[in-house]
Amino acid sequence: MNPNDLVAEATSDFAAAATPAQLEDAKAVYLGKAGKVTAMMKGMATLSADEKRVFGAAVNQAKAGIESALTARRDALAEAQLQAQLRAESLDVSLPGRSHAVGGLHPVSRVIERVEAIFGSMGFDVAEGPEIETDWMSFTALNNPENHPARSMQDTFYVDVKDAQGRWLNLRPHTSPMQVRYARAHAARYAREIAAGLTMPEIRVIAPGRTYRVDSDATHSPMFHQCEGLWIGENVSFKDLKVIFTDFIAAFFETSDFDVRFRPSFFPFTEPSAEIDIRFHQGALAGRWLEVAGSGQVHPNVVRNYGLDPERHIGFAFGIGADRFAMLRYGIDDLRLMFEGDLRFLTQFQ
């Protein structure tokens, strides 16, 4: 065979190799120990010296030609592989970056933080308690009579589990149980200090949290938020409630341009009891009385359930609707917006 033909044959075989492995196989066919070039070399043994020189030179030239065809094909395959890899891992640097949205506080959380900060500045502690309550904590300890409507299935969510007294647990319909929980949690210390002849420290606490009632419309949600407030001392009266609450409203709404009205009402756990209404003189809400809290002087039976002596320890309590405060502060007219989780609504408060 003509050594030149071998170059053409090898070049076309190399071109047919689609992968580096196939190319190495094709290479062995020509340049391997048992390959065609080696066979040609061996074939020269029978030639004369002159023929050997001519044919040998031709074989060497062919071998060089095959080697350079091989190198060219190796380079081409490596380049193709690199291009394919670049395509697969391609990165369009002109695409907009993926943004990491920063979350924010819910308007109700903002209100609760604000309430805590304002009352905190007046020396109030902050306490949180369970949302699943015993019947005693939600009702009995708060002086609710056995047949009080708040205990009815129409008003209160019950949990299908009974407490130690054999009563259904409830989803607390208000944060008022926290008055009792907080006072009792500290009762041992109060008792020690009283026994040591010291004056019992005042109870001053704010208890924010979720509350539940069987109720749902534009101004009522089955889950809503309250902040309970309690101040008990040796000489804390309704007068102090008026001062504290009015200061709180002024701080919360950042104005002193409003009226406060304590409208006589009824709660089993306070006597006397009042609804607190406020009326702004300016702004979108001006001129209307807005109910913002229930309040009163704590009933002696409740003070007794704190573990304290109602002859010595008196004070006031109040419960504010945190959602209502958020609606007033931010001008929201439908309570349901607050709990639908719609980002178009929520991002407005960031």
Instruction: Tokens 């309040």: give the residue.
Output: 295
C-alpha span between 158 and 124 (Å, rounded): 31
Q: How far is it, in rounded angstroms, from Cα 127 to Cα 289?
A: 30
Nearest approach, Cβ of 316 to ligand DAH (angstroms)? 7
> Should residue 176 be labelled a site residue for ligand DAH when binding is judged by CB under 6 A?
yes
Shortest Å, Cβ 270 to ligand DAH: 4
Q: Is 323 in the site for ligand DAH (CB under 6 A)?
A: no
Among 124, 190, 252, 267, binds ligand DAH (CB under 6 A): 267
Binding characters for ligand DAH, 128-167, by CB under 6 A (x = yes): ----------------------------------------
Distance CA 200, CA 194 (A): 6
Nearer to ligand DAH, 13 or 228 (CB): 228
Which 3-state string (H, E, C) describes 94-135?
Answer: CCCCCCCCCCCCCHHHHHHHHHHHHHHHCCCEECCCCCEECH
- Residue in 244, 270, 302, 315 binding ligand DAH, rule: CB under 6 A: 270
Residues 276-295: x where in contact with ligand DAH by CB under 6 A, - otherwise, as a string: ------------------xx
Residues 6+ apart with CB under 8 A from 221: 215, 323, 335, 336, 338, 339
Nearest distance from C-beta of residue 242 to ligand DAH, angstroms: 14
Which of 65/310 has CB closer to ligand DAH?
310
Binding footprint of ligand DAH, residue count (CB under 6 A): 11
- The torsion of the CA quartet 156, 207, 144, 311, rounded to 10 degrees, works out to 180
Query: Tell me, what amino acid is at 183?
Result: A
Q: Does 258 bind ligand DAH (CB under 6 A)?
A: no
In sequence order, the 6+-apart residues with CB closer than 8 A to the CB of 135 are: 151, 163, 165, 167, 168, 169, 170
Task: Specify the residue, 15 or 126, whose C-beta has the smaller distance to ligand DAH.
Answer: 126
Task: Give the integer Cα–Cα distance in Å for 187 and 185.
Answer: 6
Helix (H, G, I), strand (E, B) or coil at 308: coil
Q: What is the smallest separation between the CB atom of 335 and ligand DAH, expressed in angstroms? A: 15
**Shortest CB 166 distance to ligand DAH, Å:** 25
The set of residues, in sequence order, having a beta carbon less than 8 Å from that of 58 and lying 6+ positions away, is 2, 3, 4
Judged by the rule CB under 6 A, the positions of this chain that interact with ligand DAH are: 174, 176, 228, 267, 270, 294-296, 317-319
